[in-house]
Amino acid sequence: MPPAFDRQLFDFIESVSREERQGSFSRALADGIARQFGAVLRIAAAGSFKPRGARYEPAYTVVPALAAAGAADGAGAAPAATAETASPWAGTEAVLATRSLQRKLLGQTWFIQRGLRRDTAAGPRWYDLILIPVARDLSRVLGLLTDSLAGEEGAERERQFAVMGQLVRLFVDRHHHQARLQEILTLAREQQLSLLPPALPAVPGYRIAALSLPAEEVGGDYYQVFPLEHELVALALSDAKGKGFEAAMQVTGLHAALRVANSLPLKLLHKIGLVNRAMLQPGEFRNLISLFFAEADAYGRLLYVNCAHPPALWVRPAGQVEELSVGGRFLGLDAEGEYRFGIAELRSGDLLVIYSDGWSEVFNEQGEEFGAERVREVVRPLHGREPGEVIERLQSAADAFRGDSPFTDDRTVLVVRKD
């Protein structure tokens, strides 16, 4: 292929990928082909077809000559299908029979119908129609009307069309793969949301608020508040290392393990041991999970275990902030792992701020990290404040710090205030 054509293929990939994220896939293909190849491949019209009854009809049409004129005039995007712009398809009706397409296109990369005659004021002109399936069920077909491919010049254009057709097939396969992946992610997202409490339970002696912001459609952060017997409450916040679907599946397993552990009359360390063994996957270190887990009574006595999680912050009067870091290793690393518990005595107005490292690992445009120290400085003066206000302060500070930089990790925070 000529170098200029290779460059056009690259530009085509870039433009279709960008436009595909913003709208219709088949329309993005038609627009990209008309824009990049309309002149060099002598394309009279490009469009998307879909079945209606026993034949296919154009759902969207772009005429490269009109599109180029519109761009030159500053009109912007190619015109949508109208009676005028759809007229290039006149004379193709017999070719666009649904039954014929199903016979010719199923399992094929493309199909060419040759020798389509159109009478013009300058005399008859001959065209070929190239059809490429976009949807596997043939509910969408890409149509390209080009000057006849007869002769030496036409044979060279046909070779270029073949290369472009292979590229379109790659786009189509990728599009279907992404669509299926999106379905899976949607199901995973629904599953993950079902694990989080729709409303935090009322807990005697405490006020509680929480916020979870996944970096992707599904994330690896998780929190839960479990009311227990004898006026106890269990607090959990975890972070599955990684993001996306795999991390979300790990969170599902953790949720099930915690529910089982909290349903049994076990002491705190026995619960953590049970959960650790449930999450064990030998050799799969990428699935490690950090966890901060605590049990508190109505009087403020709190027992906790920190399993390689960022230390929870105990905000006390006069700007005192203590880190709750006693515990052990990641869950799922060692079946015989040993854990220790720590103790805190919460007084009226004291705050417990449990957060995932997505907050400390926010970066600004200069690549500087927000850091755990900034998290501490945000909450230090907030003793006695409502948990919801504490979360708002933390989110505002982190967002102001990062500016326009996207956050790349899940962010979850659970704030508890002793009444």
Q: What DSSP letter does each residue of 58-99 carry, written as one string? A: EEEEE-HHHHHHHHHTT--SPPPP-TTTTGGGTT-TTTTBHH
117 and 249 both lie in a single domain: no
Residue at a domain's end among 139, 158, 186: 186
Is 170 within a domain? yes
pLDDT of 282: 58
240 touches 289 (CB < 8 A): yes
Query: How many whole angstroms from its chain centre is CA 107?
Result: 31
In the chain, the percentage of residues whose pLDDT exceeds 70 is 78
Q: Tell me how far apart the 2 most distant CA atoms of the chain are, in Å.
A: 95
| Mean pLDDT, residues 258-269 | 92
74 and 213 both lie in a single domain: no
The CA distances from residue 116 to 1, 47, 180, in Å, are 27, 17, 38
Q: Comparing 57-71, 156-170, 256-270, 298-312, which segment has the lowest mean pLDDT?
A: 57-71
> Sign of torsion, CA 387 392 393 398?
positive
pLDDT of 327: 96
394-404 per-position pLDDT tens digit: 999 999 999 98
Is 191 within a domain? no
pLDDT of 86: 47
285 and 324 both lie in a single domain: yes
396 and 375 both lie in a single domain: yes
224 and 307 both lie in a single domain: yes
pLDDT of 85: 44
Measure the CA–CA gap between 156 and 264, rounded to whole angstroms. Answer: 75
| Mean pLDDT, residues 357-383 | 94
245 and 148 both lie in a single domain: no
Name the β-bridge partners of 312.
Answer: 324
Of the candidates 375, 304, 385, which has an alpha carbon nearest to the alpha carbon of residue 349?
385
pLDDT of 80: 47
Of the candidates 234, 239, 289, which has an alpha carbon nearest to the alpha carbon of residue 266?
234
| Mean pLDDT, residues 65-76 | 51
131 touches 97 (CB < 8 A): no
Is 362 within a domain? yes
Is 129 within a domain? yes
271 and 390 both lie in a single domain: yes
Full residue range of the structural domain in which residue 14 is found: 3-186
User: How many domains is the chain built from?
Assistant: 2
Q: Where are the alpha helices (DSSP H) in 73-150?
A: 98-105
Mean of the per-residue pLDDT values of the chain: 82
The CA distances from residue 212 to 192, 202, 362, in Å, are 11, 19, 15
Whether residue 21 has pLDDT greater than 60: no
Whether residue 287 has pLDDT greater than 90: no
> Which amino acid makes up residue 89?
W
Whether residue 208 has pLDDT greater than 60: yes
Residue at a domain's end among 186, 206, 224: 186
| Mean pLDDT, residues 250-279 | 90
Measure the CA–CA gap between 174 and 397, rounded to whole angstroms. Answer: 39
pLDDT of 213: 86
| Mean pLDDT, residues 205-225 | 83
167-191 per-position pLDDT tens digit: 777 777 766 665 665 565 555 555 5
pLDDT of 285: 46
Whether residue 136 has pLDDT greater than 80: no
Return the higher-pLDDT residue of 338 and 244: 338
Query: CB neighbours of 390 closer than 8 A, spacing ≥ 6?
Result: 209, 351, 353, 379, 382, 415
Q: What is the pTM of this model?
A: 0.59
